[in-house]
């Protein structure tokens, strides 16, 4: 098994439908020993249920915006694991009102919240875990096409994802001296708890299914398997990259115009407009 003997921390799993769950499950199937974090008491039960299902030994409280909890996390890992081999960062948030209307109307407060929680948390979490991470380890975060390109209703989160992808590159260099790799997966749209806050999300799913190279949407299993690859030694020569798992949607320059799908494409485009 590819991850036998490896220990990892999963930050940001919400339930068994989240992308982080797909990655954790794929890692578990390849022999990894897992630990998880939960944000607050309201989510503690959900995360513990996932941990129990996947044989996780430890579940830690963690609000990535609280320095004292990051410091405690380092101590918990050192106490329970000694060292870990990989870290999954699946944390993003923006106020709901910042995902509606025009981006130009984003408030300073909403912008700062999105950047701190969705971007700086990768930096602070990496810094907290480096002392308890083995050399030649791997760090993985999650991004989306709305970072490098415009996606309707993504607004400030798109700007945050662009900053996150840039952070991946800078962190990859900072961590490279120890052989620790830092990468991101840009997943296609998936029905998750986080996606529920994006307007017209059903339309976005249909548009991607109609217009991706593979003419389908991806699943958390698809993303999970790619995540496992980036966390394993199979990707030992890969760092600072954004790996797309979106059925090839990101390569498309415009909507598909296949004869059989022409009506569906026009209908989808009309809905977007």
Query: Which residues are tagged catalytic?
Result: 144, 154
User: Are the CB atoms for 254 and 193 separated by under 8 Å?
Assistant: no
Query: Residue 107 — φ and ψ, nearest 5°?
Result: -80, 160
The two structure tokens encoding residue 7? 């220990």
Q: Cα separation of 134 and 130, whole Å? A: 8
Residue 84, helix vs strand vs coil: strand
Count, residues in the chain: 273
What is the C-alpha separation between 34 and 52, in angstroms, rounded?
10
Compute the distance between CA of residue 69 and CA of residue 72 in angstroms, rounded to an integer. Answer: 5
Rounded to whole angstroms, what are the CA distances from 76 to 7, 85, 123?
Answer: 14, 15, 19
Q: Which two tokens stand for residue 23?
A: 């990655």
Residue 72 backbone zone (phi > 0: left; psi -120 to 50: alpha; other: beta): alpha
What SS3 class is residue 104?
helix
- Residue 17 has what DSSP assignment? T
8 A C-beta contact, residue 197 and residue 154: no
């Amino acid at each position: 098994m590819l991850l036998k003997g490896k220990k990892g921390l999963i930050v940001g799993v919400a339930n068994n439908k989240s992308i982080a769950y797909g990655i954790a499950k794929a890692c578990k199937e390849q022999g990894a020993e897992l630990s998880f974090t939960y944000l607050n008491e309201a989510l503690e039960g959900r995360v513990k249920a996932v941990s129990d299902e996947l044989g996780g030994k430890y579940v830690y409280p963690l609000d990535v915006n609280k320095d004292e909890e990051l410091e405690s996390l380092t101590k918990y890992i050192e106490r329970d694991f000694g060292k870990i081999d990989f870290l999954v960062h699946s944390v993003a948030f923006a106020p709901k009102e910042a995902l509606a209307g025009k981006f130009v109307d984003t408030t300073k407060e909403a912008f700062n919240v999105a950047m701190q929680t969705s971007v700086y948390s990768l930096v602070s979490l990496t810094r907290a875990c480096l002392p308890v991470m083995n050399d030649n380890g791997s760090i993985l975060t999650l991004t989306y096409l709305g970072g490098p390109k415009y996606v309707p209703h993504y607004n400030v989160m798109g700007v945050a994802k662009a900053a996150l992808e840039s952070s991946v590159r800078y962190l990859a260099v900072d961590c490279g001296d120890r052989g620790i790799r830092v990468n991101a997966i840009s997943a296609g749209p998936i029905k998750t708890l986080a996606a529920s806050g994006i307007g017209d999300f059903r339309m976005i799913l249909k548009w991607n299914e109609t217009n991706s190279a593979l003419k389908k949407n991806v699943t958390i299993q698809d993303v999970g398997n790619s995540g496992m690859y980036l966390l394993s030694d199979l990707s030992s020569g890969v760092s600072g990259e954004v790996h797309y798992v979106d059925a090839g949607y990101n390569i498309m320059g415009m909507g598909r115009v296949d004869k059989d799908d022409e009506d569906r494409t026009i209908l989808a485009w009309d809905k977007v407009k």
